[in-house]
Chains A and B, each alone.
Chain A
Amino acid sequence: MKRYLPAVFFMLAVVAAWEFIVRGFGIPEYLLPRPTVVIARLFTGNGLLMEHVGYTALEAGLGFVLGVGFGIFLAVVFVHSRTLELGIYPYAIALKTVPIVAIAPLLVVWCGNGLLPKIIIAALISFFPVVVNTTKGLHSVGAEAFDLFDSMSATRSQIFFKLRVPSALPYLFAALRISSTLAVIGAIVGEFSGADRGLGFFITVSSQRLETVDMFVGIILSSLLGILFFCGVAVVEKLVVPWERGNLMETA
């Protein structure tokens, strides 16, 4: 617990400074609201706020699962077929350079204003780290480990499940950490391009009405949601990959 004390103190100091500067200079609320006002709104805000959060969480969650699933699937395909890997992998990477913000309006044209385009955007954005890292992870097995399994006359599926998959797990989770927060961003970006619910919608509407306090509330809730996703992945990671002591986690 002692480790976190400096961070907590730092945050308290920043928030206090913010509060006093806004009060001292008499900055109007529509430009920069005081943190106490924002926090108060956060807790007194109507139930609709939680509905927005829930909706965005649903989009991000479904998109995350979809993107991760497809990313893993493609990585497994790549490991089994060198030809497909050489053929598709470069485009999977190239596609990454297309800004997700630019695709969002197109998806709204194609799929309408509902849940689907947001899920697709969240899936697209969480897909890339997973396919790249999982492919790398499945290929990460050393030559000696292959020799070991070969010397034991292991079958292809034994090599895959007992060697490649566990080797890839730390890489996969490094990607999931990144993807989890990206999925939330993707869902919100999707909502910016057209939605009638969700945190992105809430922020857009607040902006149009110059409700700066609400915008801050939306921003805080968005990042809290991202943190929640991230922590969820971290918890699962601790359970599934207990042997990695975080030394691979800074990669990707």
Chain B
Amino acid sequence: MTGEDMQPAMEFRRFSLAYRNGRGGQPVIQALQDVSLVIKPGEIVTVVGPSGCGKTTLLRAAAGLLSPGTDGVACDGSLAVFGMAPLEAKRKRLFAVTFQNPVLLPWRNVRQNVGLPLEIADCRDDALVDEMLAMVGIADFAEAMPSGISGGMQQRAGLARALVQNPKILLMDEPFGSLDELTRERLNFELLRIHRVKKPTIIFVTHSLSEAALLADRVVVLGRRPASVRKAIVVDLPRERTEDTLLSPDYRNLVRRIRAEFEGEEGGS
């Protein structure tokens, strides 16, 4: 998975984004300022930063959910996804997104929710849906309605719905943020296991520093709004993360380093 000439999965070059108030209006909020970041295919990048700093904006821009011109959004610099504009990459269905809330449709059972992207793309594949349900460990709940399963199960379903799209890039916005710590940890390991099998590029926004450290090849610490990359910390832990990783001194040092960056940012500057 190396090689200088490999096309980056995602490339931000001095990318800035502002929300404007109507056409031709003054910039109201400068959300991102000169973000530069190159993400390799198959890499897991976790993004941390002060709350409200623009993490979600970064992810939505990457996913092609915020496009210049619409929603009063103005961009500067460049953002490319496998050499394409995010909108084009979205049309080619290179992305899958998971959200803070699992956003399961309450009128569909788990199986129908997971199958939704295939339905939208007009290529139903029941076997694939079943495979993904099994992969995230909710095969037994396939017929359950979302309201009848726990928050952890709902997030698993959300993850399965993302995986069923066979995304090249998985964009995850604090997906496990509302779960208890044990469930979150279990899902982190599940995610890593799935990553070993399917090797998507993952951009994972979180406010948990320990989660950021556990998952990442690189941890990106964003500065306060307007967000820019304050520091990208390369994680030198072995790729194979286990529960022992959580106990290792290297891991703790890493969390400490992230915290130092993070607090340096929150404290002042």
- Taking Cβ atoms with an 8 Å cutoff, the residues of A that contact B are 142, 144-145, 147-154, 158, 162-163, 166, 169, 241, 243-245
Contacts and interface: CB of A to CB of B under 8 A. Distances in A.
Contact of A144 (B63, B103, B106, B147): B103
A63 B165 CA distance: 47
B97 A147 contact: yes
Contacts of B97: 147-148, 151
A147 B90 CA distance: 12
A147 B65 CA distance: 7
Contacts of B119: 162
Nearest to B105: A166
B145 interface: yes
Interface in B94-110: 95-97, 99-101, 103, 105-107
Interface residues of B, number: 26
Question: Which A-B residue pairs are the 6 nearest by beta carbons?
Answer: A151-B97, A152-B120, A166-B107, A243-B107, A152-B117, A154-B120
A148 B95 contact: no
13 contacts: A142-B101, A149-B120, A151-B63, A151-B64, A151-B65, A151-B97, A151-B171, A152-B165, A158-B120, A163-B105, A169-B107, A243-B107, A243-B147
B62 to A, nearest CB: 11
Interface string B104-135: 01110000000011011100000000000000
Contacts of B99: 144, 147-148
Given A142-B101, A151-B171, A162-B119, 12 more contacts: A147-B97, A147-B99, A149-B120, A151-B63, A153-B93, A153-B120, A153-B121, A158-B120, A166-B107, A243-B106, A243-B107, A244-B106
Contacts of A162: 105, 116, 119-120
A150 B153 CA distance: 24
Contacts of A142: 101, 103
